[in-house]
Amino acid sequence: MRALIVTAAALAALTPVMALVVRRRCVLLDVSGPSMLPTYRDGDRLLAARLPIRLVRRGTVVAIGMQPASDLFAANDITPGRPLPTCMVKRVAALPGEQMPDPLLATAEVPPRHLFVLGDNREASYDSRHMGPVPFARLSGVVLCRIRSRGSAHVSTPGSSSESSF
Could you tell me which of 114, 132, 125 has the C-alpha nearest to residue 89? Answer: 125
C-alpha 128/C-alpha 134 separation (Å) is 7
* Annotated catalytic residue within 32, 70, 90, 140: 90
Active site residue 35: yes
SS3 of 82-119: CCCCCEEEEEEEECCCCECCCHHHCCCECCCCEEEEEC
C-alpha 133/C-alpha 42 separation (Å) is 25
Name the 3-class secondary structure at 34.
Answer: coil
C-alpha 163/C-alpha 130 separation (Å) is 24
* Annotated catalytic residue within 32, 35, 125, 128: 35
Task: Return the active site residues.
Answer: 35, 90
